[in-house]
């Protein structure tokens, strides 16, 4: 059985993230979407809220599970008996960072490989930061986040003003 992990901060999950999730879920028997907790980031949504939002937008994908981890990705993969990490790439700048992280993860866990999926062209500009900024201005979020969570993102943008 093939298994992969798609890690990220997902603050919030975007249509670009969902696109990578759907495509990776077709490639692997099981896909674990893992909300990684990074002490240097200051998310708008708690890790528990992010897990719940992702579960809501992936409920139509039976082989996807959603969880969270505050440890090293390479160690989490070892605990999950998983040998593949999926990372989405939007631009060349993403590749430089993700390539470095893949090498570090491989050093920590030699059994771990990283598979890069390029973002669909219509999502190459999209990031959670852009979504939060647009939400703060009251913009239409329909092209950017799954419809199931638009109200959650809007409500959080209103509270953080």
List, by residue number, the catalytic residues: 17, 41, 90, 128
**CA-CA distances (angstroms) from residue 151 to 44, 123, 157?**
14, 21, 10
The two tokens of residue 93 are 């700048």
Distance separating alpha carbons of residues 133 and 71, to the nearest angstrom: 29
Nearest to 153 by CA among 7, 67, 50, 9: 50
DSSP characters over 63-99? TEEEEEESS-HHHHHHHTT--EEEEEE-SHHHHHHHH
């Amino acid at each position: 059985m093939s298994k992969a992990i798609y890690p990220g901060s997902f603050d919030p999950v975007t249509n670009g993230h969902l696109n990578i999730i759907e495509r990776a879920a077709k490639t692997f028997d099981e896909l674990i979407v893992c909300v990684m907790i990074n002490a240097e980031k200051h998310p708008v949504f708690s890790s528990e809220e992010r897990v719940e939002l992702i579960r809501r937008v992936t409920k139509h994908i039976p082989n996807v599970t959603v969880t969270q981890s505050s440890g090293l990705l390479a160690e989490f993969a070892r605990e999950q008996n998983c040998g593949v990490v999926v990372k989405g790439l939007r631009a060349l700048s993403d590749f430089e960072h993700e390539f470095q992280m893949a090498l570090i993860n491989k050093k920590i866990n030699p059994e771990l490989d990283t598979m890069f999926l390029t973002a669909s062209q219509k999502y190459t500009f999209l990031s959670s930061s852009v979504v939060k900024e647009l939400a703060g201005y009251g913009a239409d979020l329909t092209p950017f986040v799954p419809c199931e969570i638009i109200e959650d993102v809007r409500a959080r943008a209103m509270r953080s003003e």
